[in-house]
């Protein structure tokens, strides 16, 4: 067996390197988790410590938001510009079965492609196809993609072209095998909705698979198809990689993601820009009540309680079951200093809730609050401490991107059986 491994290393060094890196990362993952290295609390936490892009959470900075409420979450590492982690994600795998299947598949297709293009070109192709396939999946909103299957599909795309010009490849990659491969790809489209109905925590990265296949097919046509002008075609293929620049930009700046704007509002120190990010997040998803609280908080900091009141009313209109919103409205009401402010608040309720105003007045206990004495304004403001700027790194160089430090980023414990598990949504 040792002799066979040595032979494989000599014949397919780049393929074996990719395989060994995948195995090493998978073993390290479980070592980190088992021995709790660097305070590792879960597999997901270990995956993050080993360079993968995973879902991270950031604790609330406001005392107005109660413990246990939903927090801002997302691929923060990607959002602060750490795009190279996409490559690392390609060498992470969900479990042993996922790893074994990808290793065997990579060995099969790699043994056919690597000798024909050379180890250095093969390695570059693996890295590029990993980025292209994972980036494609991210651009459709699936941030947490792991596995090298996108590159395997790209290699198969190359072989589909090569088999037309290489008899040895044609004998191995026959029509039956191609149909089987296509069948697997289209079966993945059916598997995902079924898995979702059954409550499965993982899914197949179908966009990554199809985009990888198309990328490999293009590479095969432009590099290995003898007809036409080969130099022009190769230049055209390489020039297409310029499209990766806007693709990376949109992946790192998903302006249609409410959590992205929420996260940026927390990192931002300029009140005006912070306000704009929160407003944009609310426009995208008004069903996140904590965003309304954050927006109201900005008005409270400016001592504009009437504006904060109106914002919280709108928040309750969109999130009727948000009881903490009721509590916050009651706190704001207690800090109105004049009867005129209170009458304006009642008018705002009528404009917001219309025929439901009386019901909302009862829920907010307005009649009881009106009987209470007026409190000093600063009692509410005390609940809004400034965010500690030391909790955020500043960008001092191109290699040090601003973002929250590791102790503020928590990859929550993963329970595959739990519907709210952090593992939910991982694509293989």
Of 23, 11, 224, 4, which Cα lies nearest the Cα of 111?
A: 11
- pLDDT greater than 80 at residue 272: yes
Read off the pLDDT band of 273 (50, 70, 90): very high
Phi, psi values for residue 309, rounded to 5°: -60, -50
pTM of the model: 0.81
Name which of 79-93, 211-225, 310-324, 346-360 the model is least confident about. Answer: 211-225
Read off the pLDDT band of 405 (50, 70, 90): very low
- pLDDT greater than 80 at residue 5: no
Question: In this structure, what token pair is assigned to residue 58?
Answer: 């950031």
Q: What is the structure's pLDDT at 224? A: 76
Domains of the chain in start order, with CATH, are: 2-253+395-427 (1.20.1540.10), 258-381 (1.25.40)
Return the SS3 of 56.
strand
Scan for tokens 């990719």, then name that residue.
18
Question: In this structure, what token pair is assigned to residue 39?
Answer: 């305070």
Q: What is the structure's pLDDT at 53? A: 93
Return the SS3 of 145.
strand
CA-to-CA separations, 411 to 54, 57, 331, in angstroms, rounded = 7, 7, 33
Span 240-270, pLDDT tens digits: 889 999 999 999 999 999 999 999 999 988 9
Question: In this structure, what token pair is assigned to residue 128?
Answer: 């590029």
Q: What is the structure's pLDDT at 228? A: 62
Span 36-66, pLDDT tens digits: 888 888 899 999 999 999 999 887 767 788 8
How would you class 419 by CB atoms within 10 Å of its CB: exposed for 0-12, middle for 13-18, buried for 19 or more?
Answer: exposed
Span 318-370, pLDDT tens digits: 999 999 999 999 999 988 888 899 999 999 999 999 999 999 999 999 988 88
Question: In this structure, what token pair is assigned to residue 121?
Answer: 């070109």
Question: In this structure, what token pair is assigned to residue 213?
Answer: 């296949």
């Amino acid at each position: 067996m040792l002799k066979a491994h040595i032979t494989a290393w000599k014949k397919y060094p780049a393929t074996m390197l990719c395989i060994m890196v995948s195995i090493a990362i998978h073993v390290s993952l479980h070592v980190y988790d088992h021995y709790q290295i660097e305070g590792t609390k879960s597999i997901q936490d270990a995956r993050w410590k080993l360079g993968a892009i995973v879902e991270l959470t950031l604790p609330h900075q406001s005392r107005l938001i109660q413990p246990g409420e939903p927090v801002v979450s997302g691929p923060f590492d990607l959002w602060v510009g750490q795009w190279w982690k996409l490559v690392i994600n390609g060498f992470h795998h969900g479990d042993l079965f996922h790893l074994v299947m990808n290793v065997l598949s990579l060995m099969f297709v790699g043994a056919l492609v690597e000798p024909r293009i050379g180890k250095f070109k093969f390695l570059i192709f693996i890295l590029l196809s990993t980025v292209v396939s994972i980036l494609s999946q991210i651009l459709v909103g699936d941030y947490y993609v792991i596995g090298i299957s996108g590159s395997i599909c790209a290699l198969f795309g190359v072989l589909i072209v090569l088999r037309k010009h290489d008899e040895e490849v044609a004998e191995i990659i026959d029509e039956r095998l191609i149909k089987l491969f296509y069948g697997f790809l289209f079966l993945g489209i059916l598997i995902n909705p079924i898995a979702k109905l059954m409550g499965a925590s993982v899914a197949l990265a179908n966009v990554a698979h199809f985009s990888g296949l198309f990328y490999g097919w293009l590479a095969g046509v432009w590099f290995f198809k003898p007809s036409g002008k080969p130099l022009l075609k190769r230049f055209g293929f390489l020039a297409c990689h310029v499209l990766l620049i806007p693709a990376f930009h949109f992946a790192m700046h998903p302006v249609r993601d409410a959590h992205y704007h929420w996260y940026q509002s927390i990192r931002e120190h300029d009140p005006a820009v912070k306000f704009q990010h929160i407003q944009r997040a609310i426009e995208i998803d008004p069903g996140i009540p904590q965003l309304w609280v954050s927006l109201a908080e900005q008005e409270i900091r400016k001592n504009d309680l009437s504006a904060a009141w109106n914002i919280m009313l709108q928040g309750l209109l969109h999130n009727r079951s948000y009881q903490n919103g009721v509590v916050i409205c009651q706190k704001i009401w207690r800090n109105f200093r004049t009867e005129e402010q209170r009458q304006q608040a009642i008018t705002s309720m009528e404009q917001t809730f219309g025929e439901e105003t009386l019901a909302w007045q009862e829920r907010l206990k307005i009649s009881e609050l009106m009987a209470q004495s007026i409190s000093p304004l600063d009692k509410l403001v005390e609940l809004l401490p400034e965010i500690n700027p030391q909790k955020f790194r500043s960008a001092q160089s191109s290699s040090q991107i601003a973002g929250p430090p590791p102790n503020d980023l928590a990859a929550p414990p993963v329970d595959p059986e739990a519907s709210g598990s952090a593992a939910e949504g991982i694509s293989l």
